[in-house]
A and B are shown apart, each in its own frame.
Chain A
Amino acid sequence: GQNIDQPTEMTATEGAIVQINCTYQTSGFNGLFWYQQHAGEAPTFLSYNVLDGLEEKGRFSSFLSRSKGYSYLLLKELQMKDSASYLCAVRDRDYKLSFGAGTTVTVRA
């Protein structure tokens, strides 16, 4: 099974940078995903890492260290619309996703 930990809440100011950490223990690693979820809506795909290192996609970047069981999602130039829950998910060899409980990010003006 999977054990995935991420902080419950984070608050940051508009225009700032926030880093959301995720640690995991897995019985078969086949990729790590980050999703964004606004209240009452479905998760939307943000990023995917399967090899160690940094993946950059516009204002969002995601990092993975498989040896440490660690990932982070970096949100730059925060905007009010970035206020949401951010879900870390680990995929196993059977392609099932196990999710963390999510980190609620609040962006203040």
Chain B
Amino acid sequence: DTGVSQDPRHKITKRGQNVTFRCDPISEHNRLYWYRQTLGQGPEFLTYFQNEAQLEKSRLLSDRFSAERPKGSFSTLEIQRTEQGDSAMYLCASSLSGLADTDTQYFGPGTRLTVL
């Protein structure tokens, strides 16, 4: 078990460009979550999946944000037409639903996005 992994770890882009981040959850975890964290704040929920179904996306910050989990394994988060306000740490977490694991969310190392 290698834990949750995210790629890339750092991304610098120019305003207006599109970026895509990838998250690989802990194997066999069926739930996958995306959060955004800015300096001095706790993580802010964006969206989550159970298997390949996206169960909540109303918290995505705008229609420039979209996420997919096509085969119920890895997930991608895309931000189109990036703005300087999108600069943040994007965290992915995964959990296993069911009584045995209390559905605890385990976080990946994050992708730090800087928009110039």
Contacts and interface: CB of A to CB of B under 8 A. Distances in A.
B108 to A, nearest CB: 6
B56 A96 contact: yes
B28 interface: no
A91 to B, nearest CB: 8
A30 to B, nearest CB: 9
Interface string B29-64: 001010100001111110010000001100100000
Nearest to A50: B102
A94 B109 contact: no
Given A94-B56, A95-B31, A87 B42 contact: yes
Interface of B: 4, 31, 33, 35, 40-45, 48, 55-56, 59, 91, 95, 97, 102-110
